[in-house]
Structure 1
């Protein structure tokens, strides 16, 4: 029979990213932790992780085993903590991976409200446009824009991409005119994601279904924030994430362009390592983001 303590130890090693750190937190020698994990692998008849001098990497079997175990282990720990504290109050650290411009559309005041409501929770943000490795970087929950692809993690869309998409400043449209068709974009300056050739392909959904158009411009950038600022400065037409575009349109800094076309796959998604029971602090934070983001988007789909 498998020793549940060894399974909990395996989950802790994955969470810490090393035997040494897991041993420190568990209060035992690193060689003991390593030996217990080896015993677990022997009992299971498979290798769970690849060991190197630099880091631990889960095998495919290890990923699957971790996904099935982490929720149960965390649930047991939370149950014990709830009995000890006499409550079911969310607690602990929540490590969040999000796009670099996350706080351009997610108000810091919402974070303040959350931390005030949950005084035993600590939020640790890792902001980057690079996709985080949830296991290796010990991420509890990640927010990503764009299409939700199969990554081995549990994911769901929390913000529909159907909203404001293409925008430009009033000054740019006054000087260059408004495009009447999608193909008119070929004759306009467009603010695009960084590309060596100075051009990009925009895929949109319009009256005739999914369409695409080749656009070009003299300004490109690798973050949505850079593209937003360039569009506001009048450098061209931009295709922005829905929430960011909506906020700028409401402020009058940008104007919708060809509103019958909407971005394809620009929604916001949430990812987490396991489909099993989430720690209360993690699920509470996910619900906060869903509530605030959907409230910020006034399209009929999110009422």
Structure 2
């Protein structure tokens, strides 16, 4: 395999007109430059330069090789200079994986302010409730609920694992009555994630700290917490929602608590990224924004 450094040396020698001048420009000994160009010729199995005491002349093969290489060498040089020039300013594309309803609690204005402050940064959001592979899917930053696991990624908790509580709309409670025990839930409708049995399976912790599992008939399934919230507000059943997500509706009276002495262990929210090493400034800047806005805080009150 050719040593691209030797190819770049060859291009510089041609441009300089001599080994001595190329060595001076590169800050290298002249004999080192000459030796490495000879090594390149040996690898190629052909002479590229005719040497004389007065000047260097390209052979016909050398002329063709130079014309094919000079553009590539210049391109690599310019790319490196561009990177070094922008090394002190966030730039480039940041690919972000987040849950489908991420922008229901992360105001778009925060994104607009970030892009205005960093005009050379591009943000690419991949919104899905499916768990992505950061490496395989080329993800720079990911948001995940649940406890941090030893996945080899760097993780940071942003929102605490507050308990998830049962809620329902006042209209639903007026129509169906308020359950007074976990056993009463069997006679109610729930709003939850889909389950083959057609039942919601909730593991709840009571005031005594004991964990109990209940099964509640489910007539409305949705794969995002935001959709479940809206369904509960519409009176479709009882939902178990993160306190941060239901707080605004509870304060506005659109939802009321159901059996508040029981809670489901909350998932919280974490930010993950592949590695701390050589983290691009654009990625670091975006993580900094997220931590500033969300770290161990409640969700902003921005719900529809």
TM-score of the pair, normalised by structure 1: 0.64
Distance in 2 (CA, whole Å) between partners of 1:147 and 1:260 is: 23
For 1:281, the equivalent position in structure 2 comes to 282
| Cα distance change on mapping 1:179 and 1:275 into 2, 3 Å | farther
CA deviations 1:99-147 (Å, max 9, x no partner) are 1111122111121122122222211000011111111111001101233
- Establish whether residue 137 from structure 1 lines up as the match of residue 137 from structure 2: yes
SS at match of 1:246: helix
| Aligned-residue offset at 1:285 | 1.9
Q: Secondary structure at the match of 1:209?
A: coil
Partners of 1:165 and 1:277 lie apart in 2 by 41
Distance (whole Å) between structure 2 residues aligned to residue 142 and residue 163 of structure 1 = 23
Query: Which runs of structure 2 are paired with 1:18-37 in the superposition (5 Å)?
Result: none
* Equivalence map 1:151-230=2 (5 Å): 151-163=151-163, 165-214=165-214, 215-230=216-231
Preserved CA contact (<8 Å) 1:143 1:268: yes
Partner SS, residue 277 of structure 2: coil
| Alignment correspondent of 1:61 | none
The answer as to whether partners of 2:134 and 2:140 remain within 8 angstroms in 1 is yes
Give how far 1:152 is off. Answer: 3.2
C-alpha RMSD of matched pairs (Å): 3.0
Q: Describe the SS at the equivalent of 1:175.
A: helix
Contact 1:90 1:118 (8 Å CA) reproduced: yes
Structure index of larger Rg: 2
1:163 Cα deviation from its structure 2 partner: 4.9
**Structure 2 equivalent of residue 112 of structure 1:** 112
Which range moved further: 159-168 or 192-201? 159-168
Deviation at 1:260, TM superposition (A): 3.5
Partner Cα distance (2:276, 2:181) in 1: 44
Residue 292, structure 1, aligned to residue 293, structure 2: yes
The residue aligned with 1:236 is: 237
In structure 2, relative to structure 1, the CA distance for the partners of 1:228 and 1:161 (3 Å cut) is: same
Q: Could you tell me whether the CA contact under 8 Å between 1:232 and 1:253 is conserved in 2?
A: yes
Q: Is the 8 A contact 1:198 1:220 kept in 2?
A: no
Residue 10 of structure 1 is matched in structure 2 by none
Q: Which runs of 5+ in 2 are unaligned?
A: 6-80, 300-304
